Structure 1
Amino acid sequence: MNTRPSDRRWVLEAVRRIEADFQRSSDTHLIPLVLPAFAGIELYFKDESSHPTGSLKHRLARSLFLYALCNGWLHAGSTVVESSSGSTAVSEAYFARLLGLPFVAVMPATTSAEKVAAIEFQGGRCHLVEDPTTIYSESRRLADELGGHYMDQFTYAERATDWRANNNIAEAIFGQMRLEQHPQPAWLVCSAGTGGTVATLGRYVRYCRHETRVCAADAERSVFFDHYVGRDPDLTLSEGSRIEGIGRPRVEASFLPDVIDAMVKVPDLWSVAAMHELSRRLGRPVGGSTGTNLVAALACMSQMRERGEAGSVVAILCDSGQRYANTYYDRSWLARAGLACDAEQLAVAAWLDGAAAPPELVGRWRLAGELA
């Protein structure tokens, strides 16, 4: 079917609106965390919570919309459908509203009321399913029924982002590090949700011929780490991750193990403990996946310290902890979930202040690649 001039004009205007929105926003901050016990090693957090929709997924949603528009998949009046109960849905709802398009998030019926409210605040609609494993097929069915487009973040995340330039997160980090003592990071640390951000980091450092290595952090209930080790594409789990936004019960197309230099599989209890300790030191709450990233960053830094190496490590601060007031920051919820972590938080604090990695953590975490 030939594209009508009116359709082409709508697409060009849609791209202009998204690019104009980008021009109205400055890049996110790079925050140093001073740790005297790690002499010669600097730790920074790329704070993605300052995006208009409050998380790292704002970058992904923008890229997915531009990818769909330029591929001819979105048209005036298209209903945008996504399988997501978290930050991606919030961000996609934002861009759909920017273009005047209806948005539907397909999510498990157990999704928190806070997440539903955040999506609806951005103008989206939530379609709840009882069986979480059906969110993919239900998203496709709904998009077909409505004559819309299924964004499918888990397939397209790694290819929608221009990993060579276009101010992607990797290029932004290296630009912001330019005047630091160690401008070329020894490690970039990022947890995997779709795998798209990790893929962008890994591809960019290779394209620019940097010596920087990429460490991917994984949650307890996730197949990514085992896929990295064994390359089995058919791995599945019957339960989803308790660390929102990261970890998957199946291997997603956007997860590219060959661009990753090391992985750390972090027990959920320690992700939450690290989240609380980092929040205390920064003076503001961060999300659970940022705690996962902190543990992985400390694994990299501990290896550097043992080898007498100097350098910098940059980890991703994925989102604000304000979204988790009724879960990760609710002591009764943590107790019910088996994630009460007062002792573990003290152990993380001691680690940050110079102690060795907590033996209880070392006995449970898993390391692979250059950290093994």
Structure 2
Amino acid sequence: MDKLNTGSGQRAWTAQAIARIEADFNRSADTHLIPLALPGYPGIDVYLKDESSHPTGSLKHRLARSLFLYALANGWLREGRPVIEASSGSTAVSEAYFARLLGLPFIAVMPRGTSPEKIAAIEFQGGRCHLIERACDINAESERLARESGGHFMDQFTYAERATDWRANNNIAESIFKQMEREPYPIPEWIVCSPGTGGTGATLGRFVRYRQYPTRILCADPEISVFFDYYKGALGGRGDATLSLADGSRVEGIGRPRVEPSFVAGSIDAMAKVPDDLSLAAMRWVSARLGRRVGGSTGTNFVGVLAAARRMRDAGRNGSIVTILCDSGERYAHSYYNRDWYLERQINMVDTDAAIAAAANGGALPELPFVERAD
């Protein structure tokens, strides 16, 4: 049956915009699930969900699509009016892509220290970058720009957990379980992600509960972030939503200086706090095994994988672990793949590389703060 004619004006523009996004989705293939050998853990199979293969190169492509559809369905976007987002890079790259698809101006509000490669990627997609000094001011500045321009602040940190259809509709959780169907251990023991907005963790956690899978969700939080401390308090009934930090995370795309509305602690089964030097050593280890560079958040995730694998082995359990390859390391050539960047920040490389290699081969992982829901 043909769709009804929606006439002219705003309703017609909204219908056409949704149709463009749906057509773009229809042209896209699913992302790969890549097995990754973990030599020290026989009987434990590890997989990377490679989100870097999206058209805009990261996991955030899924989020941006969902946020645009959510905003359109709510009547928040208007023809010709700008879209504004608070983002350290990857979400902004993906939102700039969808804004250009709809012919809308796009402004990304981000910390001044964001990688030049990400800024260039946003500008390549037709977006404009508005740089600020302090990461903690990013939302307030986005709201100001939206008011003054008559545009819409997309606000990923509020709407990520509700914009995605967590029950199905080819979200990342459904995709993972579909791709795992023919593997030796098709139902993962753990799925490991890292919180930026918190939306991915919420989608995964809700999906496994809704589908009644025993899979547990582990969030690996980077060093400079409040999520771990908030979660630890929430488990004891004392979660402090006012926690804040002055600085932003050194692992771009994950970790936050404040507790975001989109972080749903109840959807997560465990959290680990990962030092940045270990995250980046794990990033280098994974890159060497894949033969291509991955980003820092993938390293944080992999440290979480090692922590989960150690717990499985200690409990005498075989099974599978799935984690997320969030984006390509090519976006971080000036930083995570530049030795001078480490020297300037006095980040140890030699000892941490050895520690991750030893842990992947079955040795002890450096002690991490780790909390797990009792039930």
- TM normalised by structure 2 equals 0.95
Query: Is 2:189 the partner of 1:186?
Result: yes
| 2:15 alignment counterpart | 12
Query: Is 2:242 the partner of 1:273?
Result: no
User: Structure 1 counterpart of 2:219, which letter?
Assistant: A
**CA offsets 1:71-118 (integer angstroms, 9 cap, x no match):** 000121121000113100000000000000000011223333322211
User: Following superposition of structure 1 onto structure 2, how do residues 272-311 of structure 1 map, counting pairs within 5 Å?
Assistant: 272-311=280-319
- Mark the runs of 5 or more structure 2 residues left unpaired by the alignment: 1-5, 234-238
| 1:208 alignment counterpart | 211
**3-state SS in 1 of match to 2:9:** helix
Q: State the Cα RMSD in Å.
A: 1.3
**3-state SS in 2 of match to 1:240:** coil
User: Following superposition of structure 1 onto structure 2, how do residues 147-158 of structure 1 map, counting pairs within 5 Å?
Assistant: 147-158=150-161
Match of 2:68 among 53, 65, 68: 65
| 1:244 alignment counterpart | 252
Query: Is 2:169 the partner of 1:166?
Result: yes
Match of 2:131 among 122, 128, 139: 128
Structure 1 residue 4 displacement after superposition: 7.7
**CA offsets 1:144-200 (integer angstroms, 9 cap, x no match):** 111110000000000000000110000000000000001000000000000000000
Mapped partners of 1:288, 1:85: distance in 2: 13
**CA offsets 1:102-146 (integer angstroms, 9 cap, x no match):** 000112233333222111011001112234322211111111111
Segment drifting more, 19-28 vs 342-351: 342-351
| 1:82 alignment counterpart | 85
Mapped partners of 2:7, 2:276: distance in 1: 52
Mapped partners of 1:112, 1:211: distance in 2: 39
**CA offsets 1:183-240 (integer angstroms, 9 cap, x no match):** 0000000000000000000000000000000000100000000000111111011111
| 2:350 alignment counterpart | 342
| Identical-pair percentage | 64
Mapped partners of 1:46, 1:132: distance in 2: 29
Query: Is 2:73 the partner of 1:41?
Result: no
Structure 1 residue 370 displacement after superposition: 5.0
User: Structure 2 counterpart of 1:162, which letter?
Assistant: D
**3-state SS in 1 of match to 2:79:** coil
**3-state SS in 2 of match to 1:159:** helix
Segment drifting more, 331-340 vs 25-34: 331-340
- Tell me how many residue pairs correspond in the alignment: 364
Mapped partners of 1:292, 1:263: distance in 2: 12
**3-state SS in 2 of match to 1:26:** coil
**3-state SS in 1 of match to 2:354:** helix
Match of 1:262 among 257, 266, 270: 270
User: Following superposition of structure 1 onto structure 2, how do residues 132-151 of structure 1 map, counting pairs within 5 Å?
Assistant: 132-151=135-154
| 2:334 alignment counterpart | 326
Task: Tell whether the 8 Å contact from 1:41 to 1:311 is kept in structure 2 after alignment.
Answer: yes
Task: Tell whether the 8 Å contact from 1:272 to 1:339 is kept in structure 2 after alignment.
Answer: no
**CA offsets 1:313-338 (integer angstroms, 9 cap, x no match):** 00011101000011000011111122
User: Structure 1 counterpart of 2:147, which letter?
Assistant: D
**3-state SS in 2 of match to 1:182:** coil
Structure 1 residue 52 displacement after superposition: 0.4
Mapped partners of 2:48, 2:160: distance in 1: 22
| 1:352 alignment counterpart | 360
- Mark the runs of 5 or more structure 1 residues left unpaired by the alignment: none
